[in-house]
Structures are given as structure tokens and as C-alpha cells.
Amino acid sequence: MKRRNFIKNASLTGLGVVASSAAISCKNPSEEIIEKPTMKQTKKPTPIAICTWRFTEANATAGKALKAGKAALDAAIAGVEVEEENLKNTTVGIGGTPDREGNVTLDACVMNADGNCGSVLCVSTTKNVAALARKVMEETPHVMLAGEGAEAFAYEQGFEKENLLTDTAREAWQEWLKTSEYKPIINIENHDTIGMLTLDTNGDIAGACSTSGLSYKMKGRVGDSPIIGSGLFVDNEVGGAVATGMGEEILKTVGSFLIVELMRNGLSPQAACEEAVRRIVIKNENYKDFQVAYIALNKDGETGAYCIHEGFTMMKYQNGENEAIAVDFYHKK
């Protein structure tokens, strides 16, 4: 009997965990469990950039960089930076909405085709946090840096010290203080995080995610966006996924890692995003009150996206065309 069959039969016949774990103890468990360890790229796809929401210019910037031969991570960071600099975007970079106490705190992460990653949390004095996350990945022995430590590292690396709270954001916060009502509104003030996935001319995939998090969050609150596996995950053998929306729910289901693993096991990017959303809604009676959206890309250049509520858009740049795709959703009224 083949080992895998033995394990299956053992658990079915009640031989139980002890017998089966003894049987696999001398071998790498992955050899036993994973039937489809890798997805080979079946064709060399043309470069693709996809991102969350209608960030037309950011996605075009990444897409054009890929077309010009830039590596996947360089292109993703260049794209994300467009929104980090955009004063009108109230949930990324400078101009982001502050926490309840008036502090703008940014979170970001990046992941590369070689499996390396970097992340920064609660950064309040510099706006290009995706590039800073890359520096953490490349210049330190760590994956994550938070708060003051991340800021000190940023200055060391030559990042500019800036006040991220714009007059517009301060005025909106002062207005909010009059009621202090904390009730995230679907698709509006809390949902402009940029998550980007890129596939370059070598067929390599990378990603970046950058946010100021939920508007008027508690001081110190961190969501999914800088957490590798939740806000972003890339496995260059399979593909990548990024998330936007209510970070607490994405964290609980490790959404982006889940999508990549589902793709590894044969699901299309679309089916994998749908399953990740389903895992959230089945556990939450109140799913009608919050948005979660995922986008995904596999090695063959296939893309997918799904969300809880109508109103989410994915941008897709390929062959010189930058398309806004209205994404299908779970909650059909």
C-alpha cells in the first residue's frame, strides 16, 4: 500500500492519530500530504500589474515599469508610491486619516519572488512605507519593524521626516471628534488601501501593500496590511494575493496565504478568492456591516478577485491596456 493511502485508511479505520503520525515520523510530512507541490508556469505570460480599487495611475505606473523590463518588486513599489504621495487618498501615505488621537500611522509590507519579505507598522513620520518595508527586508536581519524603531531606521536609510497629517485630514478628524462615532462605512472612508501584485518579463511575481489602516482606529491598532500572509502573500511557484477591507477579519483567516495555498492545490485565482471570502462570511453573522476584498494572480498570468459587497474595483494592466474591472461580490441583496 502506498504511504499516502495508508495514512488515509488509518484515519478512516480508526487506527488514529498515534499510528499515522508514527508512520510518517521518518519522512518530510510535505511529501505525504501535498499531492501538487508546485505549479509550473505553462506559458511565459506577458507582464501584468493588478491592484486594489480604482488606482488607475498607480497601476499604470507599475504596468509600464514591467513593460520596460523592471523587476516585479521594483514595479510594485513604484506603483504603490503613487498613492503614498497622493494627498487625496485618505487611507494611504500622506493625507491618510488619523487614529482617534490625531496620529496618522502607516503600515506596509512587500514580498519578493525569492520568498523574502519586509514589513513596517505604525510609522508616523515618513510616507513611503512600502519602500521602507523593502529596506527592512534587504538591510536588516529582520522581517518587521514597528513604531519608533522603524522611524529611526527610516532616517538612517535617508527617508525624509514629514508631518503626515494634512490640514484636510486634521479638519475631518476634528469634525469626527464631535460625535466620536466609530462605525466604518462600507467602501468609503476605510477602503482605499493599495495592494499590488506584479508579474515581470521573467515570469516572477512580487507584491506590495500600503495603508494608513482604518480611519479613527484606536491608537496602536494594526490591521492585516503589514502582516505577511494576511494583507499580502506571494509564493513564486504558485502566485500571489492581496487584501483590502476590514483587517480584523482578514487576519483571523490569514486570507492571502489561504488564497495562495488554495491556488497551489489547483483552484483558479477567482475560485480561491471566492473561497477566502466564504470563510469569513460563514463565521460572521454581521458580514453585511463590513467589506473585505481580495485580488489574486497566478504564474500563468490568470487573475481573480472577489469581495463581500458591491462596489470594489480591481485594476489590471496588460499589453499596454489598463482596465478597471468591477468585481463580483457575495452579498446579493
Residue 193 annotated as catalytic: yes
Chain centre distance of CA 155? 26
Burial of 218 (0-12, 13-18, 19+ CB in 10 A): exposed
Q: How far is the CB of 214 from ligand SD4 (least distance, A)?
A: 5
Q: Which residue lies nearer to ligand SD4 by CB, 52 or 236?
A: 52
Q: How far is the CB of 223 from ligand SD4 (least distance, A)?
A: 3
Q: Which residue lies nearer to ligand SD4 by CB, 224 or 235?
A: 224
97: closest CA among 263, 220, 216, 272?
A: 216
Mind giving me the DSSP string for 98-123? --TTS---EEEEEE-TTS-EEEEEEE
Q: Which residue lies nearer to ligand SD4 by CB, 91 or 318?
A: 91
Phi, psi (rounded to 5 degrees) for 129: -80, -25
How far apart CA 121 and CA 221 sit, in angstroms, is 9
Count the alpha carbons within 13 Å of 223 in the hemisphere toward its beta carbon: 32
Other beta carbons less than 10 A from residue 71's beta carbon: 17
Contact set with ligand SD4 (CB under 6 A): 91, 190-193, 211, 213-214, 223-225, 244-245, 247
Q: How far is the CB of 286 from ligand SD4 (least distance, A)?
A: 16
Q: Which residue lies nearer to ligand SD4 by CB, 160 or 248?
A: 248
Active-site hit among 52, 61, 91, 193: 193
How far apart CA 309 and CA 320 sit, in angstroms, is 30
Q: How far is the CB of 232 from ligand SD4 (least distance, A)?
A: 11
Catalytic residues: 193
